[in-house]
Amino acid sequence: MALLFVFVLLRLQPSQALSVCSECDAHTSKVLNTSVEFNKIFQKAFPTDYKFSLSEMRPGICEATIAFIAGKFYLHNRSRTGFNSNRDEKNTLYLRHKEFFESLRDQIRQTERYIGSSVPNFLFNLETQDNPSCKYPPEEKRTSLFRVKGVVHHSFCSPQLCDGIFLLPMSYNQNIRASLTTRNLDSKAAEIPWSTRRKKLFWRGSNKGKMSEYQFFNWKFSEMPRQRAIRLLRKRKDSDVKFGFVPWSEFAQHRYILSLAGNTYSSLFKHALRSGSCILRQEERMFEWFEPFLAEWKHYIPVRWDLSDLLDKLDWAKTNDKEAKRISENARKLGIHLLSTKMLSCYTYCGINYFSNLTDHTLDMDFIQNEFHLVRKVCSSKRSKRNDCFDLV
């Protein structure tokens, strides 16, 4: 006999959303044994008097200006990558990295299912490039104080490049689905006892990073961070740091894992949190959504952005084994919670509620009727991949 499950998503009143979010605050505070208020976290990115209108979002500067209304996405007709000149394509959204949009949609769905209510309508600028700097006219580029408002992105970057970004777990390696997929792998890694892990600093990965962007981050060297770390550690017996790929379980055979900037944030960091190893973390310039929950020396050992204290920090970890082990345990506890479905849903739900309240418009069908079109299809904007699409039902 087939069972039919019907998900009924209720549209909550703001007061009900508040009660969901206070429950999220209480739960997170308890699990992390520290006082957490989601709204305070969002206030750091957007002070209480921060508001924005559609005109301040400047449709046409970022890839897409989108209204999410009653569960559907509507694209502003001046969005940079909706090729509206062609009438047949007015319902198609073209993105540099369409996988982020797919992941965002998935994250919203999973969140609504978990929380049991729908997220409110919201208006946002979407930028899927790694560095969410949008495309300012040349005369404004990187000098203007007037940044577009209302940008949603998967990582934050230097205030010199962007401002007021709303971070969501919407990267394909970061959302609920991705975290469930990697959970078993990470928890297997964590079963390896500390005492049997090699007393070595370990890292593998590829040679990523763009020098042109690093100059905004005050990086003064001719080599990129990853190359630099490899060179600094090459002759040391207590390190195994080089380019390449190994299974994740190999990382966890070591007491210390190095976290290094690439194109954006270090993407291994969140897995390293759950691995049971102690992380030596190069200070980030680009952050993921969970940054406000992290504390240096509690969850990781901080290493300066220019790596000048990398060797000292490794020596410290080796001589303070008990402390390093404690840091690895704190990190694991935090990582398990941060990447849990509950936490990811709480953050997404309460974050969108907060963000949606910043828009200076009533978001309804009247608002979108002229300048927005329903998105039915999302495709890659890369010239050679324009047929690489998925449908939005």
Ligand X SMILES: *[C@@H]1O[C@H](CO)[C@@H](O)[C@H](O)[C@H]1NC(C)=O
Residues 118-177 touching ligand X, rule: CB under 6 A, are none
Q: Cβ 144 to ligand X, closest distance in Å?
A: 23
Structure tokens belonging to residue 323: 């402390």
Structure tokens belonging to residue 101: 């949009």
Q: Cβ 156 to ligand X, closest distance in Å?
A: 21
Q: Measure the CA–CA gap between 168 and 390, rounded to whole angstroms.
A: 21
Q: Cβ 33 to ligand X, closest distance in Å?
A: 4
Helix (H) or strand (E) holding 310: helix 310-319
Which residue spans within the chain are E strands per DSSP?
A: 64-69, 72-76, 92-95, 122-126, 151-153, 166-167, 198-205, 239-243, 254-259, 278-282, 301-303, 372-374, 377-380, 389-391
Q: Cβ 78 to ligand X, closest distance in Å?
A: 5
Nearer Cβ to ligand X, position 32 or 185?
32
Nearer Cβ to ligand X, position 16 or 207?
16
Structure tokens belonging to residue 31: 């699990």
Contact with ligand X (CB under 6 A) among 251, 354, 355, 367: 354
Contact with ligand X (CB under 6 A) among 31, 371, 390, 392: 371
Hey, how many other C-beta atoms are within 10 angstroms of the C-beta on 191?
9
User: Amino acid identity, residue 319?
Assistant: T
Q: Cβ 246 to ligand X, closest distance in Å?
A: 34
14 binds ligand X (CB under 6 A): yes
Stretch that binds ligand X, among 133-141, 162-170, 339-347, 351-359 (CB under 6 A): 351-359
Nearer Cβ to ligand X, position 125 or 155?
125
Nearer Cβ to ligand X, position 51 or 199?
51
Helix (H) or strand (E) holding 113: helix 98-115
**Secondary-structure breakdown of the chain: helix, strand, coil percentages, each rounded to the nearest 5:** 40, 20, 45
Those residues whose C-beta lies under 8 Å from the C-beta of residue 380, and which sit 6 or more positions away, are: 94, 95, 96, 98, 386, 388, 389
Stretch that binds ligand X, among 4-12, 116-124, 255-263, 349-357 (CB under 6 A): 349-357
Q: Cβ 255 to ligand X, closest distance in Å?
A: 23
Residues 21-40 touching ligand X, rule: CB under 6 A, are 33
Q: Which whole-number Å values give the CA distances from 368 to 11, 171, 258, in the listed order?
A: 20, 27, 47
DSSP class per residue in 222-281: SS-HHHHHHHHHTT-TTEEEEES---HHHHTTEEEEEE--SSSS-TTHHHHHTTTSEEEE
370 binds ligand X (CB under 6 A): yes
46 binds ligand X (CB under 6 A): no
CB 75 within 8 A of CB 82: yes
Nearer Cβ to ligand X, position 50 or 243?
50
What number of CA atoms fall less than 13 Å from residue 203's CA on the CB side? 31
Q: Measure the CA–CA gap between 225 and 214, rounded to whole angstroms.
A: 10
> Count residues contacting ligand X (CB under 6 A)?
11
Stretch that binds ligand X, among 178-186, 251-259, 341-349, 353-361 (CB under 6 A): 353-361
357 binds ligand X (CB under 6 A): yes
Query: Binding string, 52-91, against ligand X, x = CB under 6 A?
Result: -------------------------xx-----x-------
Nearer Cβ to ligand X, position 155 or 345?
345
Q: Measure the CA–CA gap between 381 and 62, rounded to whole angstroms.
A: 14
Nearer Cβ to ligand X, position 353 or 380?
353
Q: Cβ 348 to ligand X, closest distance in Å?
A: 15
What residues make contact with ligand X under the rule CB under 6 A? 14, 18, 33, 77-78, 84, 353-354, 357, 370-371
